Amino acid sequence: MEQIRQEGELATLQEHQQALKCLLTEFDRVCRKLDIPYFLFAGTLLGAVRHKGFIPWDDDLDVLMKRRDYERFLKQAPELLDRERFYLQGEFSQHWPMFFSKLRLNGTTCLETYHPKDPMLHRGVYMDIFPCDNAYSSRMGRLLQFAASKVVIAKGLYANGYITDSKAKKLFMGVCRMLPRGLFHRIVRGPKKTGAFVHCFLGGASKLSRSVFPSRCLKQCVELPFEEGQFCGPVGYDEILKTLYNDYMRIPSEEERRCKEHAVLVDLTRSWEHYRTYHDEMKFETITRSIR
């Protein structure tokens, strides 16, 4: 580790956030060009509303797209993206078996606390792009979707190389890897027609109640200030943030700011290929404990 550090300067959290802002700016440019709506989501949405930018201690950036818009973006965005600088890592694509997508920054490194099974997995700085699906009107229907999402998530995590020290989760992932992804993914996607509710089981909180929102919350976009820029948020951001975080305007104490650490090494000057062998040999004191 010391030799790696001496060879190049690793990024600070603030520098990492500036790289994330670069990704968001390009994502926003392409979406506006294609007239595809999107929404700042989760901690990024909270940061926009409460801090007018990143949560000061956050190293993540999330956006949400309705399924139809999400699929159109994955299909059409590659033609407009600056491919020298950016890489679109679409869901269930070559070298990326996961159930959501990422926009990566070429020529950078962002290592996380797992060993990817695919050595060709792009490990550059990234922002997450999550799909939002229609939810069934009945609670039982939504429970079925939620349960199916756990299968899809577990299959993706197993294929990507996530680890856990929980015997129950290891068993669950082992069983899920033998189940057909297509069937469970169709259940997660729900009805074709949008009803009273939508869900983000593939990208939201772990509890069902914190992943379901009234569809009116995503009826249109509103411009929200974010790091000296204006980006798209959901018109029902207050209701969404209350669902996710309850009293979301309260600033947490220092002790409460122990959010999940996404990156263990960020280098904005050298590509992830430089660290590939090093990453594969890294030892992690804290391993993945959540199924997502």
Each residue of 24-59: pLDDT tens digit?
999 999 999 999 999 999 999 999 999 999 999 999
> Dihedral angle at the C-alpha atoms of 216, 221, 223, 224, nearest 10 degrees?
50
**pLDDT above 60 for 1:** no
Distance of alpha carbon 47 from alpha carbon 54, whole angstroms = 5
Distances (CA, A) of 268 to 24, 101, 124, 128: 16, 21, 9, 18
Mean pLDDT of the chain: 92
Asked if pLDDT for residue 2 goes beyond 80, the answer is no
**pLDDT for residue 8:** 52
> What does DSSP say about strands 212-214 and 101-105: parallel, antiparallel, or unpaired?
unpaired
Domain segments of the chain as ranges = 2-280
Produce one character per residue of 185-196: b if its CB has 16 or more CB atoms within 10 Å, e if not.
Answer: bebbbbeeebee
Q: What is the mean pLDDT of residues 113-131?
A: 95
Strands 86-89 and 109-111: unpaired
The secondary structure of residue 271, as a DSSP letter, is: -
Residue 284 binned pLDDT confidence (cut-offs 50, 70, 90): confident
pLDDT value, residue 162: 86
Q: Which residue type is seen at 56?
A: P
Token pair in block for residue 96: 């990326």
Mean pLDDT value across residues 122-147: 97
- 256 has pLDDT over 80: no
pTM: 0.93
